[in-house]
Amino acid sequence: MNNPTDIKERVKKNIIWKSIFRRDYRNTVRDRAQAIFGNVFLHLHPVQVREGAVKLRFTWGMGGITFFAFIILVITGVVLMFYYHPSVSQAYSDIKDLEFQVPFGVILRNLHRWGAHFMVIVVMIHMFRVFMTGSYKAPRQFNWGVGVILLVLTFMLSFTGYLTPWDQLGFWAITVGTNMGAATPLLGYQGPFSEFLHITPFNDVRFALLGGSRVADNALLRAYIWHCVAIPLVSVILMFVHFWRVRKDGGISKPHK
Ligand code: HEM
């Protein structure tokens, strides 16, 4: 019979558990110190960095460039917020005013828009590089997982930002996107099992995303809050974990000799 202590010990020996939690916390001074060195929030800087861990010809610098694009987007995005109201009656004209009335407004808007396209492209190249150099293998499998979430978050930032100008492109993208949500199994009213689970157009995932049953004011407000607050916040936290983890996994992987 398995008792709870056995199960705990087996979970701790599991390969997935060990890829996330490197150190067992026992109460010695050394273990407590290691627990602090190994925690991104308590000890951001690495205890040691190996020489040559950042060779450009191996990494292409694509992760760093992705981060750089993100910083540009945060800065230009905050400035854009000064000129924009997330309401159906004002959003589109705010963007046109920004382009044609505000000094350098067109540059500001395009820095943000092209910066977003750029980030999506470079994050995919970064992932491609990591895959081609086999850097997803142990001990980096956890960081690959964090990366996959960052990739999804990057796409979500791009998608939610697309609606904010309230132009035809954005309007129809959100219409199609949320209709896909309506057809999702277990979540949407048009998806499989919806009758069994009593899912209707008024309590499904589409309704939650739109804040109603139509693409209207609430949908714009929700996309705006996801875009400017929730997704960037989660992304920043995960980026810190990602960078810290590169260090904790012994620096960037090395090419085979
Ligand atoms: C917002 C998105 C991301 C940012 C800002 C970011 C940033 C970085 C940076 C700065 C590095 C250091 C090495 C380098 O520059 O190549 C790195 C390494 C790494 N990244 Fe990302 N990354 C992102 C997304 C991803 C994605 C989508 C994946 C894969 C699914 C991924 C997996 C990894 C792995 C496994 C490493 C370690 C590579 C090695 O040791 O050679 N990252 N990342």
Classify domain 61-248 at the CATH topology level.
Cytochrome Bc1 Complex; Chain C (1.20.810)
Residue 218 has pLDDT above 60, yes or no: yes
Is the beta carbon of 140 within 6 A of some atom in ligand 1? yes
Is the whole-model pTM more than 0.75?
yes
pLDDT in tens, 188-215: 999 999 999 999 999 999 999 999 999 9
More confidently predicted of 23 and 168: 168
Q: Is the CB of 150 under 6 A from ligand 1?
A: yes
Q: Output the CA 122–ligand 1 centroid distance in Å.
A: 11
Domain ranges across the chain: 61-248
Name the residue with the closest Cα to ligand 1, atom 8.
Answer: 63
Instruction: Average the pLDDT over 209-235 and give the result.
Output: 97
pLDDT at residue 255 is higher than 80: no
Ligand 1 centroid–CA 5 distance in Å is 37
80-136: pLDDT as tens digits: 999 999 999 999 999 999 999 999 999 999 999 999 999 999 999 999 999 999 999
Higher-scoring residue by pLDDT: 33, 229:
229
d(CA 85, CA 94): 7
Does position 1 have pLDDT exceeding 60, yes or no?
A: no
Quote the mean pLDDT of the chain.
91
Contacts of 207 (CB under 8 A, 6+ apart): 201, 213
Task: Provide the pLDDT confidence category of residue 4 given band limits of 50, 70 and 90.
Answer: confident
Q: What is the pLDDT of residue 256?
A: 62
Higher pLDDT, 12 or 202: 202
Contacts (Cβ under 8 Å, ≥6 apart) of 113: none
Burial state string for 12-33 with b = 16 or more CB within 10 A and e = fewer than 16: eeeeeebbeeeeeeeeeeeeee
Q: Average pLDDT for residues 61-66, to the nearest whole number?
A: 94
Determine what percent of the chain is predicted with pLDDT higher than 70.
Answer: 95
Ligand 1 atom with the shortest distance to the CA of 61 = 15
Residue 44 CA to ligand 1 centre (angstroms): 17
Do 42 and 23 touch, CB atoms closer than 8 A? no
Q: pLDDT at position 52, please?
A: 60
Collapsing DSSP states into helix, strand and coil, what is residue 35?
Answer: helix
Query: What share of the chain has pLDDT > 90, as a percent?
Result: 71
| 154 touches ligand 1 (CB under 6 Å) | yes
Query: 73 CB less than 6 Å from ligand 1?
Result: no
| Residue 151 beta carbon below 6 angstroms from any ligand 1 atom | yes
